[in-house]
Amino acid sequence: MQEEKNNFYTLSADPVFKNVFYRDNNLLKRFLTDILVVFYDNVQIKKFKVLNTELTKDRLYIRNKVVDILVDIGTKVINIEVNVKYDDYRIYRNFFYLASSTIASMKKDMKFVDIKEHVQFNFNFKKNYKNGYKISAYGDLSTGEVTIPFMKTIDIDVDYYKKNGIIQVNKRNIMKNLKAS
């Protein structure tokens, strides 16, 4: 009897990651759904729009800001970043990407309550989180109150997932359907 083997493809190189998920809208939708159902109730992606991944530059002589995946799913804008190394630079850069995409989505005379939630999923290598993930919301440190409800960062430890097979949050398994067959 042949032993069943589950391969795990990390897609840690940005061009490969982008190429796989941008090539097949059904795979991208399934990937987004598998991630979102872990952290949100009642997730149904009926339609989605892949957005321009090149964020607006605010000055002429700065480096281009290009995110890995940026998708509008109607109720939320999802940014996915793959970070092969995880260091202070990436923490700042990823927050800057999240803030830039949020600001770019704002229209003239828009009220803050009308801003779609922007969620950034960071798939991090070489970063150890106790439960395989970390959720960051932005607000008042002295009270713990979330004062910017339309921005959230969810960091996922890919090495934890590879080692333990799944990342479990609220008794739900993340990326359980994305194993290679």
Res 146 pLDDT > 70: yes
Q: What is the pLDDT of residues 95-114, one digit of tens each?
A: 888 988 888 888 888 888 88
Task: Specify the pLDDT at position 177.
Answer: 42
* Residue 53 CB neighbour total at 10 angstroms: 17
In a 3-state reduction of DSSP, which class is residue 155? strand
DSSP-derived pairing of the beta strands 133-139 and 146-157: antiparallel
Q: What is the pLDDT of residues 82-92, one digit of tens each?
A: 887 777 788 88
Domain boundaries, the chain: 14-174
Predicted TM-score (pTM) of this structure: 0.76
Q: Is the dihedral of CA 20, 24, 30, 32 positive or negative?
A: positive
- 61: exposed, middle or buried (C-beta count within 10 Å: 0-12, 13-18, 19+)? exposed
Res 73 pLDDT > 50: yes
- Per-residue pLDDT band for 78 (boundaries 50, 70, 90) equals very high
Task: Specify the pLDDT at position 18.
Answer: 79
